[in-house]
Amino acid sequence: MAMLILERGVERSLIRKRRRLGHDLFDEVWNGVYVMAPNADNQHQAVSFDLGMVFGASIDAAGLGRTLPTPNVSDRADDWKQNFRVPDLGVFLVGTAAIEYRAFWHGGPDFVVEVASEYDKTDEKIPFYESVRTRELLIIDRDSWRLRLNRLINDALQLVASSALDQGAELRSNVIPLTFRLEQREGKPVIQVTNYATSQTWTIRPRDIPQRRTRKPD
């Protein structure tokens, strides 16, 4: 359910509360509209963290560029808070066209990872990433367990490859030296990541989301 708040006092109070509680990490502004993203669950955070470790070893440690979790990405240098997105991971290679400011980047990362969560409108962010010239976008769909690799071709982020549990196709990036493949092991999805420059391989195992335990009455 979406909610539109027109009362400025209520809006400001709610935003201040989210910042105080640390719930605004993934909040964004879409052309002047404040978008409150759902809190990332444990599985979402674990997938992002594990991929960040792989990227750090393959990109940062190799001197190819920088990997940043949840960077602020805007399409403007002035008044950037009027339009920005916060991907789960952003890779800025050496010589990137994006310009770094203290709190944000003007221009898109060379490679972006978005871990899709319920209600987060991941696909609706694609036109923005096109506009800031993101070269590749990897979307991890967790409801249907599918990987989608989009590449900037003729100014549009076009789907170039996908990997699902019933067909473990390999997704090869042209921007970073990694391939991604979705597989099923012991009835559970795993993401196989390989550095094709070094042949090193990692297995990302999405953790199950623990069910809340209720205390039995005495």
The two tokens of residue 89 are 């991971």
Helix runs in the chain, H state only? 8-21, 42-55, 126-131
Across the chain, mean pLDDT equals 88
3-state DSSP assignment of residue 207: coil
- Residues 14-73: pLDDT tens digits? 667 666 656 566 788 989 888 877 777 889 999 999 999 999 999 999 999 999 999 999
pLDDT of 120 reads 74
pLDDT at residue 145 in the model = 92
Level-2 CATH architecture, domain 26-164? Alpha-Beta Complex (3.90)
Residue boundaries of the structural domains of the chain: 26-164
Q: With beta carbons less than 8 A apart as the criterion, state whether 123 and 141 touch.
A: no
Contact, 26 vs 70, CB < 8 A? yes
- Dihedral pair phi/psi, residue 10, rounded to 5°: -65, -40
pTM of the model as a whole:
0.87
> What's the token pair of residue 117?
């969560």
Which pLDDT tens digit goes with each residue over 99-125?
Answer: 999 999 999 999 999 999 877 789 999
